[in-house]
Amino acid sequence: EAGVTQFPSHSVIEKGQTVTLRCDPISGHDNLYWYRRVMGKEIKFLLHFVKESKQDESGMPNNRFLAERTGGTYSTLKVQPAELEDSGVYFCASSQDSANPSTDTQYFGPGTRLTVL
């Protein structure tokens, strides 16, 4: 079974440009999460999708960030325009059934390292 995949693995852009990150969750997982880790700090929650609906977007830093999950499969996270402080590693995770803690877990992708110059 394929794990969570993310593309690209690295992205280097100039301040003011736009970047789109993509996440493909594990097939059949309705729950999809975005997290971000800024240089050496904790991994912080950004938002949570259930299928195509945003369940919780309380962690989104500001309106320069837009997440979508059309059709309830893969998700994109767009940063427009990018600022220096957006640099970090963006992780995506997916889970199947968030109502059963004995069997459920969040599976994480390898992350996208974003550098804004």
Partner 1 sequence: AQSVTQPDIHITVSEGASLELRCNYSYGATPYLFWYVQSPGQGLQLLLKYFSGDTLVQGIKGFEAEFKRSQSSFNLRKPSVHWSDAAEYFCAVGPYNFNKFYFGSGTKLNVKP
* Contact residues: partner 1, CB under 8 A: 3-4, 31, 33, 35, 40-45, 48, 55-56, 58-59, 91, 93, 95, 98-99, 101-102, 104-111
In the complex, least distance from residue 40 CB atom to partner 1, rounded to whole angstroms: 7
Smallest distance, partner 1 to C-beta of residue 16, A: 29
Provide CB contacts within 8 A for 112, sequence distance 6+: 6, 7, 8, 9, 10, 11, 21, 89, 90
Instruction: Name the residue nearer to partner 1 (CB basis): 17 or 22.
Output: 22
Q: How far is the CB of 14 from partner 1 (least distance, A)?
A: 26
Query: Contact, 92 vs 5, CB < 8 A?
Result: no
